[in-house]
């Protein structure tokens, strides 16, 4: 895939109004790196590139110049069907992820069939020094291990995390809010015992109060557990 052709395609899809929105909601990225291409367009482009099989050169060219290249990279990884190749490319890319959008929208489909392998990597990611590796690891626990594959040991892993990074703590809060909606009885003790730092504890409760999957009675009780500072 030729970079000149790729940039031509991306700029042909540019939406300046959307670009301005992206810059506002993703403060960690350089505004000059944002072209302004909507996600569905990038996903279609990634699908075409995967179908053509012409992506190895692109994946090797790190770091990328544009935010949209990182998005495209994430969507290509998400569509790779070979587990070994997918994990190898993911491990090379994670240190270069610099924003919550790219982190959260990267979700390899192949992981659904290989939970054991995924979990072994999650344990490494959540202990990383890289903000978005940690966020990605917690996000994968939330996506893949809160239903039939749930184990009380998983929230223990998340509750032990301590970070000064906003985007890590927001993901931890999101994890526990989602876990409360899916595994209320198992997760409630983490909130009752205040196992999270105060900010994350309160944010998890706040996000739970916004959830339609949690009953009004549960919300009333959770609200009573907020830490008053």
Domain ranges of the chain: 1-113, 114-229
Residue-wise pLDDT for 162-206, tens only, equals 999 999 999 999 999 999 999 999 999 999 999 999 999 999 999
Per-residue pLDDT at 59 exceeds 80 = yes
Band the pLDDT of 229: cuts 50, 70, 90. confident
Query: Whole-angstrom Cα distance, residue 106 to residue 100?
Result: 10
Which residues does 134 contact at the CB level (< 8 Å), separation at least 6?
Answer: 125, 126, 127, 128, 161, 163, 165, 168, 171
Per-residue pLDDT at 22 exceeds 90 = yes
Band the pLDDT of 2: cuts 50, 70, 90. confident
Query: Whole-angstrom Cα distance, residue 227 to residue 229?
Result: 6
Band the pLDDT of 5: cuts 50, 70, 90. very high
Which residues does 50 contact at the CB level (< 8 Å), separation at least 6?
Answer: 76, 79, 80
Residue-wise pLDDT for 94-138, tens only, equals 999 999 999 999 999 999 999 999 999 999 999 999 999 999 999
Mean pLDDT of the region 18-32: 97
Which residues does 4 contact at the CB level (< 8 Å), separation at least 6?
Answer: none
| Domain at 114-229: CATH code | 1.25.10.90
Query: Whole-angstrom Cα distance, residue 45 to residue 6?
Result: 10
Band the pLDDT of 1: cuts 50, 70, 90. confident
In the chain, the percentage of residues whose pLDDT exceeds 70 is 100
């Amino acid at each position: 895939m030729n970079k000149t052709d790729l940039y031509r395609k991306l700029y042909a899809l540019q939406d300046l109004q959307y670009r301005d929105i992206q810059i506002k909601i993703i403060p960690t990225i350089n505004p000059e790196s944002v072209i302004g291409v909507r996600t569905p367009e990038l996903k279609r482009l990634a699908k075409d590139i995967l179908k053509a099989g012409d992506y190895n050169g692109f994946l090797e060219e790190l770091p990328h110049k544009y935010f949209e290249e990182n998005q495209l990279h994430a969507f290509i990884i998400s569509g790779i069907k070979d587990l070994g190749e997918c994990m190898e490319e993911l491990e090379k890319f994670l240190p270069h992820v610099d924003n919550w959008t790219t982190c959260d929208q990267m979700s390899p489909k192949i992981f659904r069939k290989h939970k054991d392998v995924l979990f072994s990597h999650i344990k490494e990611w959540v202990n990383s020094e890289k903000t978005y590796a940690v966020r990605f690891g917690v996000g994968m626990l939330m996506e893949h291990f809160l239903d039939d594959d749930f184990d009380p040991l998983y929230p223990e892993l998340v509750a032990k995390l301590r970070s000064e990074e906003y985007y890590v703590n927001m993901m931890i809060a999101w994890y526990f809010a989602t876990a409360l909606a899916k595994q209320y009885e198992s997760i409630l003790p983490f909130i009752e015992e205040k196992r999270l730092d105060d900010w994350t504890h309160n944010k998890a409760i706040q996000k739970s109060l916004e959830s339609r999957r949690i009953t009004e009675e549960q919300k009333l009780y959770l609200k009573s557990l907020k830490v008053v500072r």
